[in-house]
Chain A
Amino acid sequence: MDFNYTEEQTMLRDSLSRYLANTYDFDSRQKVVREGKGWNPAVWTAFAEELGILCAPFSEAHGGLGGGAVENMVVMEELGRAIVLEPYLSTVVIGGGALKAVGGAIADELIPGIIAGNVRIAFAAYEPQGRFHLNDVSTTLKAGQLNGHKAVVEHASNATHLLVTARTGGAQRDTSGIALLLIPADAAGITRRDYLTVHGTSASEVYFENVAVGDAHVLAADALPLVERIVDEATVALCAEACGVLKVLHAQTLDYAKQRKQFGKAIGDFQVIQHRLVDMFMEVEQAVSMTMMATLKLDSDERAAAVSMAKAKVGKAAKFVGQNAVQIHGGIGITQELAVGHYFKRATLIENQFGSVDFHLSRYENLTLAA
């Protein structure tokens, strides 16, 4: 058993961490948020060219570092520490994950583009009525034409490609008859309504009206098992991001509790605050443990159960640590002025992303607790 990073993984973490500390400070980030585009293309170029992190999980044959899920975990935690807006999760983890899984000519064509920063992929799977259920798909692909509506597609406005689930047969919630497509984001018949999320990224409602889809665009037919695996990998990467977010929330709150004086002493001298900070610390540590556990089980039979355990635990931690970071900061924690409030927002959105705590507890029950 070994929970240590390799030398290469440590270097990846350190170089990204250094870059973000130097260039991605809170004020620069907020400036990008205020500009209202939901990302900064220059940062993406730097990720590709200066840092080379976009190649982390790809094979050497595709120009990558030969890494995988652990590399994604390393990167995502650092991105979480700086509440980075740019689309590593959707492009590299999800889009790249799908391409790695299907392989072949399309992977050979597009993965080098991802690594170079030119190909960006948005994940259009969830639907307005579908809540967190990936099998709830009413978007249809019939006779080469795609029709439907996908909800809250993050980073669609800056994507070159959309990764789309569509029903080729069966009823709305059947687990069979769902295809996974990769189509150009500017294909005729695609319209979007773009908006910002409360976290500052962009997202869109994406509508398909008779979009022509050829065989070359179909990554996989009857693809739900593949989609679930891709989303499990993404969920673990999101947990890693959460770990970064929560570590910063805890560190900033601890710092504040040592500095802020009331009743003639630091509020961190009060036992009620001490115990709260200890409880937050325990939540963070367990979130980190569960994220590592699930990352290392992604290729095992226990994948789905392990991922749902991790997300349930991380979701609870995100709520507890986020709420108490604000509570201990007091009023200043609810303002736009301090970073802590913005980390709290990110932690809050992570709670429900790829499924709420309840959703993952139910999934875990269904997978493991047959009566």
Chain B
Amino acid sequence: MDLNFSAADVAFREEVRAFIRDSYPAWLHEKIDEGEEMAKEDFLAWHKILHQKGWIAPAWPVEYGGTGWTATQRYIWSEETARADCVRLMPFGLSMVGPVIYTFGTPEQKAKFLPRILSGEDWWCQGYSEPGSGSDLASLRTRAERFTGEDGKEYYRVNGQKTWTTMAQHADWGFFLVRTDPTAKMQEGISFLLIDMKTPGITVRPIITLGGEHEVNEVWLEDVIVPVENRVFHENKGWTCAKFLLAHERTGIAGVAASKRNVERIKQVARQTQDGADSLLANPFFKRKVAELEVDLAALEYTELRTLAGESAGKGPGPESSLLKIKGTEIQQRLTELALEAAGTYGAPYFRSMGEGDNSFAVGPDSARRVAPVYFNMRKTSIYGGSNEIQRNIIAKMVLGL
């Protein structure tokens, strides 16, 4: 057991810092600081720089384009990118469907899709939840019927509705869970399909969330024709891929590095916020809450490091990742609560002027901008990726054997 970084790790940290300092686009920082809406190209700018450098997918096996970094180096990487406020990379290709494809895909699927995930050429979205299938995902009803086309090839005809599809408005491809055998038991009749979002019959409709954002969508599929070679893994065995992906998603979802950065940000804001004769950070109530957050975040961090060490020793992420998801999202939410509280009276204004043609409107300190919408938005974290109630069920059943 050793918590210290080796000399090589320290050198690696310096290399990473220098790279970010020299390569991260300054205009992207400004855009985020201004709270401007991010366009697809904005999200992809940093992705493309990392792809060029060969650092876009540190978690992937080297043979598919990974960096070959140790778990410690990956930890350093996520720390440093969060510390430098680098824009978040879209997880749908890199952390979700990518690992499914290199784990379960055919050689043809790997050759076709993996390079385009790495390059950012394809933007992916996730077709899992349905209006009637949220926590009970396996009850999904989107139907895929297999048929032989006039060209003699095999196809699926897909009909149904997906919902909460994040960033589907930008997506080139989607990975979908569909029911291929309606007679089988719930989990056993599901297949995992890769669908070109330009296929006729797909309609994407926005869902506007409480903060006013367009982040999620409904996706309607009407007689969408999908070649059978776009199915990953065996027919009716898609649940295996789904579970594998969810466990992967859950570890990434902990967001330790970003939360550490946000704790620093809140401390800075509290230091600059006046509360009576002193600063808000001198308020014993507020200070105690920051301290509790730091303690809980450290507990999460070292639990994640133990899990990662287990993974690099060959254990895949298992049901333990539910712990990381629950604790990670609770901390993320508490951070937004504290930010809103720190803003005080200035948490109430919405980022919109009543005056005409005034788009650069801001009131109160910059740090208070958008804290309320972000607080509302982050309520999603204890709901998505399997609600935190479901995660507790998973731990109860899979870890504790209850």
List the interface of chain A (C-beta within 8 A of B): 36-38, 126, 128-133, 136, 151-152, 157, 173, 193-199, 202-203, 205, 261-263, 267, 270, 272-273, 319, 323, 326-327, 330-331, 333-337, 341-342, 344-345, 348-349, 352-353, 356, 358, 361-362
Task: List B contacts of A129 (CB < 8 A).
Answer: 274
25 contacts between A and B (CB under 8 A): A38-B354, A131-B274, A131-B345, A133-B276, A151-B345, A152-B349, A193-B353, A195-B354, A197-B350, A198-B347, A198-B373, A272-B389, A326-B383, A327-B382, A327-B388, A330-B387, A331-B384, A334-B377, A335-B208, A341-B210, A345-B376, A348-B376, A349-B347, A352-B340, A362-B285
Could you tell me if A358 and B276 are in contact, using CB atoms closer than 8 angstroms?
Answer: no
Task: List B contacts of A132 (CB < 8 A).
Answer: 344-345
Residue from B132, B273, B346, B375 in contact with A152 in the complex, judged by beta carbons closer than 8 Å? B346
Could you tell me if A331 and B345 are in contact, using CB atoms closer than 8 angstroms?
Answer: no
Is B252's CB within 8 Å of the partner chain A?
no
What is the bound-complex CA distance between A353 and B346, given in angstroms?
10
What is the bound-complex CA distance between A341 and B280, given in angstroms?
30
Task: List B contacts of A337 (CB < 8 A).
Answer: 207
Could you tell me if A131 and B273 are in contact, using CB atoms closer than 8 angstroms?
Answer: yes
Bitwise, B335-350 to A at CB < 8 A (1) or not (0) is 0010011001111111
Task: List B contacts of A261 (CB < 8 A).
Answer: 132
Nearest Cβ distance between residue A267 and chain B, in whole angstroms? 8
Could you tell me if A262 and B379 are in contact, using CB atoms closer than 8 angstroms?
Answer: no
Task: List B contacts of A128 (CB < 8 A).
Answer: 346, 364
What is the bound-complex CA distance between A198 and B329, given in angstroms?
23
What is the bound-complex CA distance between A319 and B379, given in angstroms?
12
What is the bound-complex CA distance between A202 and B352, given in angstroms?
11
Could you tell me if B353 and A334 are in contact, using CB atoms closer than 8 angstroms?
Answer: no
Task: List B contacts of A334 (CB < 8 A).
Answer: 209-210, 376-377, 379-380, 383
Is B296's CB within 8 Å of the partner chain A?
no
Task: List A contacts of B285 (CB < 8 A).
Answer: 358, 361-362
Bitwise, B266-299 to A at CB < 8 A (1) or not (0) is 0000000111110010010110000000000000
Is B372's CB within 8 Å of the partner chain A?
yes
> Nearest chain-A residue to B285 (Cβ)?
A358
Could you tell me if B344 and A131 are in contact, using CB atoms closer than 8 angstroms?
Answer: yes
What is the bound-complex CA distance between A195 and B392, given in angstroms?
42
Could you tell me if A203 and B379 are in contact, using CB atoms closer than 8 angstroms?
Answer: no
Residue from A193, A197, A263, A272 in contact with B355 in the complex, judged by beta carbons closer than 8 Å? A193
A152-B345, A334-B377, A356-B341 as given contacts; A263 in contact with B283, CB under 8 Å: no
Task: List A contacts of B164 (CB < 8 A).
Answer: 331
> Nearest chain-A residue to B286 (Cβ)?
A358
**Which residues 383-401 in B have Cβ within 8 Å of A in the complex?**
383-384, 387-389, 392
What is the bound-complex CA distance between A344 and B136, given in angstroms?
25
Task: List A contacts of B392 (CB < 8 A).
Answer: 272
List the interface of chain B (C-beta within 8 A of A): 129, 132-136, 139, 163-164, 207-210, 212, 216, 273-277, 280, 283, 285-286, 337, 340-341, 344-350, 352-355, 361, 363-364, 372-373, 375-377, 379-380, 382-384, 387-389, 392
- B interface, over-half SS: mixed
What is the bound-complex CA distance between A133 and B58, given in angstroms?
50
Nearest Cβ distance between residue B359 and chain A, in whole angstroms? 12
> Nearest chain-B residue to A154 (Cβ)?
B348
Residue from B132, B344, B361, B384 in contact with A195 in the complex, judged by beta carbons closer than 8 Å? B361
Residue from A202, A327, A348 in contact with B375 in the complex, judged by beta carbons closer than 8 Å? A348
- A interface, over-half SS: mixed
Nearest Cβ distance between residue A235 and chain B, in whole angstroms? 14
> Nearest chain-A residue to B341 (Cβ)?
A356
Could you tell me if A352 and B344 are in contact, using CB atoms closer than 8 angstroms?
Answer: yes
Could you tell me if A345 and B210 are in contact, using CB atoms closer than 8 angstroms?
Answer: yes
Task: List B contacts of A202 (CB < 8 A).
Answer: 354
> Nearest chain-B residue to A262 (Cβ)?
B136
A203-B348, A335-B209 as given contacts; A262 in contact with B354, CB under 8 Å: no
What is the bound-complex CA distance between A262 and B373, given in angstroms?
29
Could you tell me if A327 and B379 are in contact, using CB atoms closer than 8 angstroms?
Answer: yes
Taking each of A37, A126, A331, A336, which has the highest tally of chain B beta carbons within 10 Å of its own beta carbon? A331
A203-B349, A348-B376 as given contacts; A193 in contact with B208, CB under 8 Å: no
Nearest Cβ distance between residue A202 and chain B, in whole angstroms? 6
What is the bound-complex CA distance between A197 and B352, given in angstroms?
9
Task: List A contacts of B274 (CB < 8 A).
Answer: 129-131, 136
What is the bound-complex CA distance between A263 and B283, given in angstroms?
47
For the complex with contacts A327-B387, A348-B375, 18 further pairs of A-B residues with Cβ separation under 8 Å are A37-B354, A130-B274, A131-B280, A136-B274, A151-B346, A193-B361, A194-B353, A194-B355, A195-B350, A203-B349, A330-B134, A331-B383, A334-B383, A335-B208, A345-B376, A348-B372, A349-B347, A358-B286
What is the bound-complex CA distance between A168 and B376, given in angstroms?
41
Could you tell me if A336 and B210 are in contact, using CB atoms closer than 8 angstroms?
Answer: yes
Residue from B209, B348, B353 in contact with A198 in the complex, judged by beta carbons closer than 8 Å? B348
What is the bound-complex CA distance between A130 and B377, given in angstroms?
28
Task: List A contacts of B135 (CB < 8 A).
Answer: 262-263, 267, 330
Could you tell me if A335 and B136 are in contact, using CB atoms closer than 8 angstroms?
Answer: no
Task: List A contacts of B383 (CB < 8 A).
Answer: 326-327, 330-331, 333-334
What is the bound-complex CA distance between A365 and B209, given in angstroms?
39
Task: List A contacts of B210 (CB < 8 A).
Answer: 334-336, 341-342, 344-345
What is the bound-complex CA distance between A326 and B129, given in angstroms?
17
Task: List B contacts of A198 (CB < 8 A).
Answer: 347-350, 372-373, 376
> Nearest chain-A residue to B288 (Cβ)?
A358
Task: List B contacts of A352 (CB < 8 A).
Answer: 340-341, 344-345, 347-348
Residue from A126, A196, A326 in contact with B345 in the complex, judged by beta carbons closer than 8 Å? A126
> Nearest chain-B residue to A354 (Cβ)?
B345
Could you tell me if B380 and A331 are in contact, using CB atoms closer than 8 angstroms?
Answer: yes
Task: List A contacts of B133 (CB < 8 A).
Answer: 262
Could you tell me if A195 and B349 are in contact, using CB atoms closer than 8 angstroms?
Answer: yes
Nearest Cβ distance between residue A366 and chain B, in whole angstroms? 12
> Nearest chain-A residue to B216 (Cβ)?
A331
Task: List B contacts of A157 (CB < 8 A).
Answer: 354
Nearest Cβ distance between residue B219 and chain A, in whole angstroms? 14
> Nearest chain-A residue to B333 (Cβ)?
A323
What is the bound-complex CA distance between A341 and B384, given in angstroms?
17
> Nearest chain-B residue to A319 (Cβ)?
B337
> Nearest chain-A residue to B132 (Cβ)?
A261
State the 5 A-B residue pairs at the shortest beta-carbon distance, nearest first.
A262-B136, A358-B285, A194-B354, A197-B348, A198-B372
What is the bound-complex CA distance between A64 and B380, given in angstroms?
47
Residue from A151, A333, A353 in contact with B379 in the complex, judged by beta carbons closer than 8 Å? A333
Could you tell me if B364 and A151 are in contact, using CB atoms closer than 8 angstroms?
Answer: yes
